[in-house]
Amino acid sequence: MGAASDAARATGSIAVPPAPRAPASPLRVALVGNPNTGKSTLFNALTGMRQRVGNFAGVTVERVEGSYTGADGRRVSVLDLPGAYSLDPHTPDEAIALDLLAGRADVPVPDVVVIVADALHLERNLYLVSQLIELGLPAVVALNQIDAATKRGLQVDVVELIHELGVTVVPTVATKGEGIDRLRQAIARAPDLPVPSRRMPVPRVAEQALRPVEQALVDDGVPPAAAGLEALLHLTAPGTDHGPAVHAAVVAARSQLLDAGLNPESLEAELRYGWITGVMHRTVKDPDGQEHTTSDRVDRLLLHKVWGMLIFLALMGIVFQAVFFWAAPMQEAVESALGWAGTQVGSAMGEGDLQSLIVDGVIAGVGGVLVFLPQIAILFLFIGVLEDSGYMARAAFLMDRYMRTVGLHGRSFIPLVSGFACAVPAIMATRTIERPRDRLATIMVVPLMSCSARLPVYTLLIGAFVPAMHIGGFLDLHGLVLLGMYLLGTVSALVVAFFFRRTLLRGQTQPLILELPPYRIPSPRALATTVFHRSSLFVRRAGTVILALSIVIWALATYPRSDVPDGIPDEAVQEMQLANSFLGRAGHAIAPAVAPLGFDWKIGVSIVSSFAAREVFVSAMGTIYGVGGSEDGAGLPEKLRAERNPETGAPVYTLATAIGLMVFYVFALMCMSTVAISIREAGGGWTGVRWAAVQFGYMLALAYLGAWLVRIGAGAFGWA
């Protein structure tokens, strides 16, 4: 393309060229651009990392660092940043990019800004591009998604675009790795080229009106190269980070502009888009026009008031059925593999504490959690399809008016759905919400969405106690109960949000402004990556946190060894030893607290041990019943069904107990990572701690109340 030589045309720079740097220090590069342009995909292609990508605005919400070695052997450190529509940020995630470029972040200003533009939406993208080239930093434009643009019949004249922008433009297809080498070369050369500067014409009156503002900004420490940009930004959003001199200059400039018949509020948009119209005219050929795309036709149906909602509900129903049905064979395979491993290890090692640790502690504990991996992977697959197809943003738009009735925001929708996978990234995803109160309300209810860590608890109890009954069509009682638990969580989230918006978080909900991405067929490779990535997090968690807790629980359930009288059956011996262990004693202390819910001490102690992570409930039950029970080879569900109350002989677990337990887990916030992230995202420090405490407290209260109501209700109907 001859890109680099053309880029040297950049002229009229008022910035001081950057001081030469020792070649040993890494070149710092930041990826900046509109949301959903492919920054993270490009980041992955450049660095070989596996950052999350998805087809909606606001996938990346924090700064991520990676690196590669350039052709000349120099390290290049790359920052992936959240997208932004302009350098005048409105949301916490948008502010991250600006803070970095303005030198307000805890890392230095990048040496090269890689401006990622999406060829399909070039016109809108050029707004931010035109702002970024005025920053006075070395820049390269990556014109991404060229393939999608070509497919739609758009032709971009890259050479002409380079002339217009005055910076190197490299066409790329990040998903296929095309143009990446060329981009690397352009990045390496960028610091040696003259820095780009303003390309758009500014009418004389505006120029004269703004000059004092620019001067005042420079006096206040703004780099001269960026003063023009800052001055324009100040016209619409008078920042408070500059002194009174700047403020006075802005006020004067505004009235001068008004006198000249210009609207200071919209001046920047008019100037930039006016220039962009010309650039588009000269660089892009769009023979078909973009009036009606396939996406629009699909939207005719999916955004329909009635059909759209029905399709949405049907999609959700299919997801939950699939989680149960598709996973069942895989789950059985994992289960029998674990059972086999248990028996093999058990017989190979001979009786003893070590054998018990491996079989009852590790295999029953961690394995008991890993059994649910197939289900979780399928859930991730479905969420991935929703995210990558572009449907997520549509659903958010569709749901906006319902969300609004409870004081949430259309933008709260994506965090809530991500909450089905895990509350931690979901809470971080609330950074795309502008107003702090809207954001806080969302943060407070996200953990009510049943995350994948609850799935093991639900599945264990449903599998063991809910009769497998076909209901008709593709519906099955197992899937239906599971769906019920998810619905309970979701509906409660909405109700609780409503209460928060009426009490602690009063105020108007911000109206929705959301870009809808074009639909895309999710690429199997990208989906596989996402599912693998998220599942491996789950496995890693099982191998670390859950493993450690399982061993601790095993030890507590095994020691101290107590003397038991001779001549009683094996099973009773183990039962007595368990009751006398540390865990047993703790359990009996806890028992009165959970007795009103119909839970025995074993459940009580499993609940308490799962305060750090919900899956531990399953592993604790596995360990307790492994240590205590003697029917070797029986799975945990069989053991649970066989459990009898030693005094009355009645089964400990009834359908009501199981439902009560599930309801408890729907509500309770038993996850340390969520508490930690809530503290940080709710404002950090004491403010954050207070909000997190409110969150933990209300959820625990709901959990207890919910489980109690199930017990009472079941009693009233006579099937407790």
Partner 1 sequence: MLRRLFSRPTAAPAGPCLNTASSAVAEACLESCALMACTTGRRAVVVNVGCDGAEACRLRAMGIYEGARVSVVDSRNGLLLQVRGARLAIGAAVAAAITVIPLPN
Q: Is the dihedral of CA 591, 597, 599, 603 positive or negative?
A: negative
Minimum CB separation of residue 205 from partner 1 in Å reads 8
Is the CB of residue 198 less than 8 Å from the CB of residue 134? yes
Q: Does 335 bind partner 1 (CB under 8 A)?
A: no
Residue 261 to residues 202, 212, 230, 254: CA-CA distances in angstroms? 15, 19, 22, 11
Q: Does 148 bind ligand GTP (CB under 6 A)?
A: yes
- The nearer residue to partner 1, 280 or 591, going by C-beta atoms, is 280
Minimum CB separation of residue 34 from ligand GTP in Å reads 7
Q: Which DSSP string do the residues of 417-446 spell out, in sequence order?
A: HHTTT-HHHHHHHGGG--SHHHHHHHHHHG
Q: Does 120 bind partner 1 (CB under 8 A)?
A: yes
Q: Does 237 bind partner 1 (CB under 8 A)?
A: yes
- The nearer residue to partner 1, 284 or 527, going by C-beta atoms, is 284
- The nearer residue to partner 1, 270 or 353, going by C-beta atoms, is 270
- Scanning the structure block, which residue is given the tokens 């502009």? 257
Give the span between the Cα atoms of 320 and 454, in whole angstroms.
14
Look up residue 625 and give its two tokens. 């019943």
Q: Which residue in the set 175, 450, 577, 610 belongs to the binding site for ligand GTP (CB under 6 A)?
A: 175
Phi, psi of 475 (to 5 degrees): -90, 150
638, interface contact from partner 1, ligand GTP, Mg ion, none, CB < 5-8 Å by kind: none
Contacts with 498 (C-beta within 8 Å, 6 or more apart), sequence order = 406, 407
The closest of 632, 635, 637 to 343, measured between CA atoms, is 632
Site for ligand GTP in 12-51 (CB under 6 A): 35-41
Beta bridge partners of 113: 30, 139
- The nearer residue to partner 1, 447 or 518, going by C-beta atoms, is 518
258, interface contact from ligand GTP, partner 1, Mg ion, none, CB < 5-8 Å by kind: partner 1
Q: For residue 91, what is the enclosing H or E element?
A: none
Q: Does 393 bind partner 1 (CB under 8 A)?
A: yes
Question: Cα Rg for the chain, rounded, in angstroms?
Answer: 30
Q: Which stretch binds ligand GTP (CB under 6 A): 140-148, 198-206, 286-294, 307-315?
A: 140-148
- The nearer residue to ligand GTP, 136 or 518, going by C-beta atoms, is 518
Q: Which residue in the set 434, 600, 638, 643 belongs to the binding site for partner 1 (CB under 8 A)?
A: 434
Q: Does 60 bind ligand GTP (CB under 6 A)?
A: yes
Give the span between the Cα atoms of 130 and 113, in whole angstroms.
13
- The nearer residue to Mg ion, 60 or 450, going by C-beta atoms, is 60
Give the span between the Cα atoms of 218 and 246, in whole angstroms.
10
- The nearer residue to ligand GTP, 143 or 679, going by C-beta atoms, is 143
Q: Does 269 bind partner 1 (CB under 8 A)?
A: yes
Minimum CB separation of residue 204 from ligand GTP in Å reads 38
Interior/surface letters 30-49, b for 16+ CB within 10 angstroms, e for the rest: bbbbbbbbbbbbbbbbbbeb
Q: Which residue in the set 65, 147, 286, 335 belongs to the binding site for ligand GTP (CB under 6 A)?
A: 147
Q: Does 175 bind Mg ion (CB under 5 A)?
A: no
Quick one: CA torsion of 406, 411, 416, 420, rounded to 10 degrees? Answer: 150
| Interface residues toward partner 1, by CB under 8 A | 85-86, 88, 90, 120-124, 127-128, 203, 205-206, 236-237, 258, 261-263, 265-266, 268-271, 273-274, 276-277, 290-291, 295-296, 299-300, 303-305, 393, 397-398, 400-401, 404, 410, 434, 510-518
| Interface residues toward ligand GTP, by CB under 6 A | 35-41, 53-55, 57-60, 82-83, 144-145, 147-148, 173-175, 388, 520, 526
